[in-house]
């Protein structure tokens, strides 16, 4: 039997997802609902398979290998797992440069 992991969403990841859904909803409420359902569905799989995502290549190039991501086109869900917990950290538009987004967030903090 597979071990179950607890999935926690950071405030940043929640804010990212809300912003995405609100933006899409301006054009199409149904599309927004579909995107929300798809992202929540794919991330719910992390309960059983936290290592299914790839290591974030931009971070690995900097020697940081403990962050993973799920690609849910066009979104990238960045997370890490430790012990029996998975922490969803960000939901980013894959068309943006991840390094720029993360650097911007660090500067704002």
Q: What is the pLDDT of residues 20-73, one digit of tens each?
A: 999 999 999 999 999 999 999 999 999 999 999 999 998 888 888 999 999 999
Count of CB atoms within 10 A of residue 44's CB? 10
Core vs surface per residue 21-35: b (16+ CB within 10 A) or e:
beebeeeeeeebeeb
67-92 pLDDT, tens digit per residue, is 999 999 999 999 999 999 999 999 99
Give residue 106's pLDDT.
Answer: 65
Distance between CA atoms of residues 44 and 52, nearest Å: 12
Does the pLDDT at position 1 exceed 60?
Answer: no
- Global pTM value: 0.88
Structural domains in the chain, sorted by start: 6-108 (3.30.2310.20)
Assess whether the previous peptide bond of 99 is cis (omega < 30° from 0): no
pLDDT computed for residue 82 by the predictor: 94
> Residue 7 has what pLDDT?
97
- CB-CB contact of 68 with 56 (8 Å): yes
* Alpha helices for 1-109 (secondary structure H): 11-27, 29-44, 57-60, 98-108
Task: Please give the average per-residue pLDDT across 6-25, as a whole number.
Answer: 96
Mean pLDDT of 1-30: 94
């Amino acid at each position: 039997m597979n071990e179950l992991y607890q999935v926690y969403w950071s405030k940043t990841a929640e804010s990212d997802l809300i912003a995405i859904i609100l933006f899409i909803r301006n054009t199409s409420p149904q599309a927004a609902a579909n995107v929300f359902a798809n992202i929540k569905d794919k991330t719910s799989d992390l309960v059983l398979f936290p290592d299914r995502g790839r290591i974030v290549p931009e971070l690995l190039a900097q020697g940081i290998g403990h962050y993973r991501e799920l690609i849910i086109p066009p979104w990238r869900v960045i997370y890490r797992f430790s012990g029996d917990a998975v922490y969803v950290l960000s939901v980013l538009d894959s068309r943006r440069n991840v390094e720029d987004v993360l650097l911007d967030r660090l500067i704002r903090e």
